[in-house]
Copies of this chain bind each other. A is one copy, B any other.
Amino acid sequence: MTYCLAIKVNDGIVFASDTRTNAGVDQVSTYSKMYAFGIPGERSFVMLSAGNLATTQAVVNLVERDLAAADPERSLKTVDYMFDAAHYIGKLSCGVQAAHCEPAKEEGIKFDASFILGGQIGDSAPEIYLVYPEGNYIAASPTKPYLQIGETKYGKPILDRIIAGETSLEDAARCALVSLDSTMRSNLSVGPPVEIAIYRNNSLALDTPLTFDTDSPFYQAVQRSWNEGLNRVFDDLPRFDWESALRPVSRSGE
């Protein structure tokens, strides 16, 4: 499995992904699922991928081939809008999935992949899109301005509690890290290192993504701070009425 997310706040976009891939429990590997494309100063894209690794790698190869081509029919260099870019990725993905040998398809084997594509083209507004395996796509909602692919449920509650348009880019990045950490604790198919890229509006360029492995001091500090903090908040939750009545001195000495 995989867990990737993108958060679009007023100041820009945060992209985050795990790096674990698996096909059965004895074929576990580490691959980046975050790809940056663009022309500095003109347009900038980040793509996150989930699903069949052969499909996602083929889509990335095609995106790069079209970018390098002298006169491609369409590429991330030629699209005029972010939704055009999402449409292009969806078309590539469907084409790759349809190209697989017939016997596998007759057996119902799927080569599904999902993508998140975000970025900015010139002076148009930055956007994020989720591209479904079927090739169609949606933008994020203004009130829940994030998109997720892969193993999405474990890490959703913290996003629902924290993320809003006015969240700072750094807070959005921290929230993405916590959301990934919660997912990795509860599900073995999502694993470190974690990659985080921060796109600042109108920069039309991307710094090198941050990589956090389990031994990274910053990631360890966030983990410790979050876990201790949660336990502290939990200990401070209101007591049931019988607890204060029956056990005024110690609630744990029952």
A residues at B contact (CB < 8 Å): 11, 153-158, 160-162, 168-171, 173-175, 178, 182-183, 185-187, 210, 218, 221-222, 225-227, 229-234, 236-241, 243, 251-252, 254
Chain A, interface SS category: helix
Tallying the copies of this chain within the complex gives: 2
Q: Are A178 and B234 neighbours in the complex by a CB distance under 8 Å?
A: yes
Q: Are A230 and B233 neighbours in the complex by a CB distance under 8 Å?
A: yes
- Report the 7 A-B pairs with minimum CB-CB distance, sorted nearest first: A229-B233, A153-B153, A157-B182, A221-B238, A156-B186, A157-B186, A174-B237
Q: Contacting A237 at CB < 8 Å: which of B155, B225, B233, B252? A: B225
Known: A175-B234, A218-B238. 5 other contacts (CB 8 A): A154-B154, A158-B230, A170-B240, A170-B254, A225-B237
Q: Are B168 and A186 neighbours in the complex by a CB distance under 8 Å?
A: no
In the complex, what residues of B have CB within 8 A of residue A231's CB?
A: 161-162
In the complex, what residues of B have CB within 8 A of residue A168's CB?
A: 251-252, 254
